[in-house]
Amino acid sequence: MNRKSKGKVYVGMSGGVDSSVSAALLQKAGYEVTGVFMKVWQPDFLPCTWREERLDAMRVSAHLGIPLLTWDFEEEYKEGVADYMIAEYKAGRTPNPDVMCNKEIKFGAFFRRAMKEGADFVATGHYARINKQQTTNNKQHGAMETGLSSVVSCKLLVGVDDTKDQSYFLWTLGQEQLSKTFFPIGGFKKSAVRALAKKFALPVAEKKDSQGLCFVGKLDMKDFLAHFIEEKEGSVLNEKGDVIGTHRGAYFFTLGERHGFTVTKKGTDDAPLYVVAKDFKKNTITVAPQTRSDLECASQELRAEQASFCSGAIPDTTKKYTAQVRYHGEQYKCKVTTVNENSFTLKLEKPAVFDAGQSVVLYDSEECLGGGIIE
């Protein structure tokens, strides 16, 4: 960890390999580690898995000889993640629940409670890195110097394993959170994390990775939403306005999406079809057989609200950055044209397909500067 002083670290432990190895690495580095299993809301129509996950977290904690606490964030998750996601889809937008899960739960409710209970730091199994630099400044009171103050400046960096990097989901973190957070596995490839799990003889060393919605797991988003948003069959249109198929409801789709609708009248080339327009009043979606960058709904300009800059500074309008509008999506060269503490606009060097509600995240080389919600 390359830190001169050790302290108490509360580690969010899900029962998976990544968080388990994180706890083991921190313990090996000399920190006083406490595991915390976060219990959150799960819909009653999905398999209940939290008891099995907590059992795995208990096994790992017993193996490491550390305490494991169980904290209930069911209400916070339901309101801040699930209800938010459903409301956004009902409004015709495409939210990113994993971003909200990090903001409201892992670095919201969990972070606040850990600090309140005496933790010096928190840690999670995210594939990202934090570069912490300590600087010393002169304190002044009026015209008089009163001593020295120590300030920690943090940079959020991408994970070493670019196939697992999760910095896209962490753009809402601020300097205070970053200064008190560890991402112990961010400097490792996934294969190395697996090897460490075996080296530490962790009970979950062979456990498969969890995928899907944060805490809930793998699911079909349209099936999930159908429990909260009434399905209404609508027409799939081609670019000429002809009806060529059906869908379950325009609210379930994202611009640029190429799955989830049924085409009954196919052409001779059978090229992949992408959603290029949505009409919520008529409950129709329009599809076209074009590549993602050539879609008629692609744009070179976007505006983002609810901005948060984890770098601690507003981006420079004279510099070139890269922007990412979906997890593991293409990074687009861009310039920030206008910016303040709450919003910004971007000019992309080439057209991109994005939808209102999605997160756009800014990068300066390996550093994640922050992001916002696309309007």
Q: Which residues are catalytic?
A: 101, 214
Q: Are 111 and 178 in contact (CB under 8 A)?
A: no
- DSSP symbols for 111-136: HHHHHHTT-SEEE---SEEEEEEEEE
Sheet of 181-182, strand order: 68-72, 32-39, 8-12, 121-123, 181-182
Burial bucket for residue 33 (CB in 10 Å: 0-12, 13-18, 19+): buried
Q: Return phi, psi of residue 240, to 5°.
A: -85, -10
Would you state the structure tokens that stand for residue 179, as one six-digit string? Answer: 């200064």
Alpha carbon distance 63, 23 (integer Å) = 11
Q: Are 300 and 310 in contact (CB under 8 A)?
A: no
Those residues whose C-beta lies under 8 Å from the C-beta of residue 44, and which sit 6 or more positions away, are: none
How many C-beta atoms surround the C-beta of residue 81 within 10 A?
A: 27
Alpha carbon distance 234, 2 (integer Å) = 58
Element (H, E) at 272: none
Pure H helices in the chain: 17-28, 50-64, 74-77, 84-90, 97-101, 110-116, 175-179, 190-199, 221-225
